[in-house]
Amino acid sequence: MIYIGVDIAKNKFDFCMLNGDAKKYGSLDNNNSGFKKLLALLSKYEDDAHVCLEATGSYGFDLAEFFFAKNIKVSIVNPAKVKAFAGSELSRNKTDKLDSFLIARFAKEKSPKLWQAPTKQDQDLKAMYRRWEVLKHSRAQEKNRLSSERNQLSLSSIESHLAYLNEQIEAVEAVLNNIKNEDENLKQRYDLLTSIPGIGKVTAFMFMTEISFELFEDVRQVVAFAGLNPKLNQSGLFRGKSRISKTGSAAIRKTLYLPAVKAKQVNPLIIPLAQRMEAKGHCQMSIIVASMRKLIHLAFGVIKSKRPFDPYYRHSIATNELIETMT
């Protein structure tokens, strides 16, 4: 197996081809021409080639999609994992060339999961969801300006821009709903997620675009992906305060905050969790974080089982198992 570590940037990418102990470095343009040149270098290894790159925004998506279409193994890995691997290797220097070698070494040593290209519908849904979020953020900024602005000319401009943003938000939301309704799989996922008390349309679309539940074997992996897993601070007799790792997606944590606040008031499985934590003296932020984790657990459950939210699901399973042992 030959491992190709790719350090991606906006206009170019550096690569390291690791074949046993032999290394070959190069730098190519981050476009279709550059991808074809790298493919030509891999022509005699295509069946035994594994391309690996870090998840750094959208810069590497075209490269990953190109090689996936050529039936070459591709992995897109969390940069935090590569950084931790570099620390374990006592790597001190950092250049694009060395980073590509490090990524190739990581692929060889850790055998990361293979990447699956999303469908066009999934791509469209993600693009429009992110556009929706940008527009809503711009609207919130303009509303804040509106409340403090005193100049009439400036006020008129802000009001005009707000009207435009409202139109765009409604239009993008309509496109999101059309994409979802025209694809049976997306519609099923949306309905399953919104069956959970506390999860509305915004959170459902976030889960559908930011987390590919099907690719995770364990819900703990999803929690870690969101950066909501505990980060212990202990050494010997010292016991420091544990916090969440925050090594995952900040966008997921941000979107889950308000649904978690709502869920601890309306979700029959999260209400008792919040009450137990309050009784033990936990602060509100700790309770909200625990509620965020619970929402991920519930979302993972309904997607994996393809069953809508049922607060008595575990009880039903236990009852059925008891009946089976008695018959």
We report the CATH number of the domain holding residue 63 as 3.30.420.10
In DSSP terms, which residues pair with 239 in a beta bridge? Answer: 234
The answer to the question of residue 190 being in a domain is: no
Q: Is 23 helix (H, G, I), strand (E, B) or coil?
A: strand
User: What pLDDT is attached to residue 239?
Assistant: 44
> Cα(53)–Cα(15) distance, rounded to whole angstroms?
9
| Rounded Cα–Cα distance for residues 313 and 178 (Å) | 32
240 and 177 part of one domain: no
148 and 241 co-located in one domain: no
Structure tokens at 75: 């992995």
308 and 210 assigned to the same domain: yes
Q: Would strands 230-231 and 12-19 be described as parallel, antiparallel, or unpaired?
A: unpaired
| pLDDT of 324 strictly over 90 | no
Domain count, the chain: 3
Residue 245 has pLDDT above 70, yes or no: no
| pLDDT given for residue 82 in this prediction | 87
Give the number of other CB atoms < 10 A from CB of residue 143: 12
Whole-number Å distance between alpha carbons of 25 and 95: 12
Q: Looking at the structure, tell me whether residues 36 and 101 fall in a common domain.
A: yes
Q: Is residue 209 part of a domain?
A: yes
Domain that holds residue 286: 202-314
- Same domain? 214 vs 177: no
- DSSP tag of 118: P
- pLDDT at position 320: 46
| Residue 210: pLDDT over 60 | yes
Identify which of 46-50, 109-113, 246-250, 292-296 has the greatest average pLDDT: 292-296
CA contacts within 13 A on the Cβ side of 197: 12
Decide if 55 contacts 79 (C-beta within 8 A): yes
Assess contact for 35 and 67: CB atoms under 8 A: yes
Identify whether 268 is part of a domain. Answer: yes
- In terms of domains, do 210 and 175 share one? no
138 in a domain, yes or no? yes
33 domain-assigned: yes
Token readout for 67 is: 């090689």
pLDDT band at 93 (very low <50, low <70, confident <90, very high): low
Q: Are strands 238-239 and 243-244 parallel, antiparallel or unpaired?
A: unpaired
Partners of 15 in the β-ladder:
6, 26
Query: Among all chains, which residue has been given the structure tokens 């949306």?
Result: 190
What rounded mean pLDDT belongs to the chain?
87
| Total Cβ atoms within 10 A of residue 142 | 19
C-alpha to C-alpha distance for 156 and 159, rounded to whole angstroms: 5
Cα–Cα distance list, 43 to 37, 61, 67, 299 (Å): 10, 21, 12, 42
* Range in 136-140, 283-287, 322-326 with the lowest mean pLDDT: 322-326
Weakest-pLDDT range from 10-14, 128-132, 236-240, 249-253: 236-240
Confidence bin at 103 (pLDDT 50/70/90): very high
pLDDT in tens, 8-42: 998 999 999 999 889 999 999 999 999 999 999 99
pLDDT (0 to 100) of residue 279: 95
The H or E element that residue 73 is part of is strand 73-77
Strand partners of residue 26: 15
Average pLDDT over residues 114-123: 90
Last residue of a domain, one of 65, 90, 110: 110
DSSP 291-326: HHHHHHHHHHHHHHHT----TTHHHHHHHHHHHHHH
Residue 211 and residue 301 in one domain:
yes
Average pLDDT over residues 52-79: 89
Residue 314 pLDDT: 63
Mean pLDDT of 95-115: 90
Q: Are residues 307 and 206 in the same domain?
A: yes
Last residue within a domain, chosen from 110, 130, 148: 110
Same domain, 154 and 222: no
What interhelical angle do 284-305 and 271-279 show, nearest 10? Answer: 150
- 277 and 219 within one domain: yes
Q: Are residues 161 and 252 in the same domain?
A: no
* Separation between Cα atoms, residue 301 and residue 218, nearest integer Å: 10
* Structural domain includes residue 13: yes
Entry pTM: 0.77
pLDDT of residue 231: 54
Residues 286 and 218 reside in one and the same domain: yes
- Residue 246's pLDDT is 65
Give me 218's structure tokens: 């364990």
| Number of Cβ within a 10 Å radius of residue 169 | 16
| DSSP helix/strand/coil, 180 | helix
Q: In angstroms, rounded to a whole number, what is the distance separating the alpha carbons of residues 79 and 249?
A: 12
Beta bridge mates, 76? 53
Is 46 or 170 the better-scoring residue by pLDDT? 170
97 falls in which pLDDT band (50, 70, 90)? Answer: confident
Question: Residue 323 has what pLDDT?
Answer: 40
